[in-house]
Amino acid sequence: MTSAPSQPKSSSPSQEDLKAIIAPVQAELAIVEQWLTTNLIDDNPFVGELLAQVFQSGGKRIRVAIALLGSKASLKEGAELGRLNIIQAVLTELIHTASLVHDDVIDASALRRGKETVNKRFNDRLAVLLGDLLFAQASICLARIMNPVVVGIYGQVLGDLCAGEIGQMRSQFVYDVNWERYINKSIAKTASLFAAGSHAGAILNAASNESVQALKDYGVNLGLCFQIVDDLLDVTGSSSELGKEPGSDLRAGVVTAPALFVLERDDEPAKRLRELIKTRQIVNDEGAEEGLKIIRENGGVEATVALATRYAELAKDSLSVIAPSDARDSLVALIDYVLVRTK
């Protein structure tokens, strides 16, 4: 269905590719979309408008796709997704969106997907509250699922999201090379929610332990691939593709894979990059530009592509025990989509 993830396509994946990938869960996705734009707990029109704006601002619904496809792949051929599968997909996207809204406050971001953030358009106060409202809606979904194992999984995700951000905040401008810390942070920030999305539906569908574990492994590895590509795009992307300025991680003193690959070397570029971070010159336009240039010219990009590709392959391998189906094919295709995306 797609090229091997070890050879990323040179052309970027289009909206059409994503449409083909989600085809097996197209109908369910529409229901999820309705849930997301229906205000569950507040009939204030101003709040409703804000929520609609947040959800209609061009999110790709990758986590929804993962949840629905994971649930579908865990079912017997021809079986339909149930109400709980829909709620679990909604839950996953709500948590993601809530954390984006709060992340934009935390990072003082003005743009997301090329549009003004809630904190920029209004203020931090409203963005904190809107994120809280989204988390509240997620709590209600989680509670409605009424499955203690799934509660445990998403509870861990919520804790991981906070702990991951707190960890990142505390390791700003830290330039020693610690890959374990980087991977753990990436799991907490991203892969934990991907994994919850991919395998909680299989639990609700009473799939075999083997399938549940396979879908969980898929989610962790795909999530790591996604985060690494995200970190890469911050170095290679253009502002028109990213919908924000590139180099924002470096400017914030957040050291990710592309920088780590340079920093672990014992040469002049590594030394200079360490210097830029250590002296905090990296926060300025000039310092950030120099940092990006060092990373780009010293193999940081290629090594990061290879790392992302490794996790893409692990994600693909995880699916080997899942019975063939359109949904499984789409989960495979989604890996390539995540790997070669440009935004």
The residue among 39 and 213 lying less far from its own copies, judged by its C-beta, is 39
Reference 339, options 259, 253, 221; nearest CA is 221
User: Does residue 329 interact with its own copies by CB under 8 A?
Assistant: no
Measured CA to CA in angstroms, residue 333 lies from 16, 202, 329 at distances of 13, 19, 6
| 125 lines the binding site for its own copies (CB under 8 A) | yes
Interface stretch with its own copies, choices 56-64, 66-74, 124-132, 314-322 (CB under 8 A): 124-132
Q: Which residues, 168 to 187, sit near its own copies by CB under 8 A?
A: 169-170
Q: What gap in Å lies between CA 327 and CA 320, rounded to an integer?
A: 13
Binding mask 41-60 for its own copies (x = CB under 8 A): xx-x-xx-------------
In the three-class reduction of DSSP (H, G, I as helix; E, B as strand; rest coil), residue 97 is classed as helix
Closest to its own copies by CB, 132 vs 210, is 132
Closer to its own copies at the Cβ: 130 or 338? 130
Paired residues of 112 in beta bridges: 115
* Site membership for its own copies, residue 66 (CB under 8 A): no
- The interface region with its own copies, picked from 121-129, 190-198, 204-212, 328-336 by CB under 8 A, is 121-129
Candidates 20, 110, 128, 183; binder of its own copies (CB under 8 A) is 128
**How is 210-237 classified by DSSP, letter by letter?**
HHHHHHHHHHHHHHHHHHHHHHHHHHH-
Q: Please, which residue, 145 or 315, has the CB nearer to its own copies?
A: 145
Q: 121 and 67 in contact (C-beta within 8 Å)? A: no
Scored b (16 or more CB within 10 A) or e, 115-138 reads bebbbbeeeeebbbebbebbbebb
Q: Single out the residue of 1, 79, 162, 321 in contact with its own copies (rule: CB under 8 A).
A: 162
Task: Give the interface segment with its own copies, choosing from 10-18, 30-38, 154-162, 202-210 (CB under 8 A).
Answer: 154-162
DSSP state of 323: P
In whole angstroms, the minimum distance from the beta carbon of 127 to its own copies comes to: 9
Q: Tell me: does residue 138 bind its own copies (CB under 8 A).
A: yes
Beta strands, E only, the chain: 111-112, 115-116
The gap between the terminal CA atoms of the chain, to the nearest Å, is: 22
Neighbours of 78 (CB within 10 A): 6
Q: Give the separation between CA 133 and CA 51, rounded to whole angstroms.
A: 9
Query: What is the rounded CA–CA span in Å between residue 258 and residue 255?
Result: 8
x/- letters, 68..107, toward its own copies (CB under 8 A): -------------------------------x--x--xx-
From the list 39-47, 65-73, 257-265, 273-281, the region that binds its own copies by CB under 8 A is 39-47
* Total binding residues toward its own copies, as defined by CB under 8 A: 45
Q: Does 149 bind its own copies (CB under 8 A)?
A: no
Gap between the Cα atoms of 262 and 83, Å rounded: 48
Q: Which amino acid is at 57?
A: S
DSSP of 54-66, one letter per residue? HHTS----HHHHH
Binding residues (CB under 8 A) for its own copies: these are 40-42, 44, 46-47, 99, 102, 105-106, 124-126, 128-133, 135-140, 142-146, 148, 151, 154-156, 158-159, 161-163, 165-167, 169-170
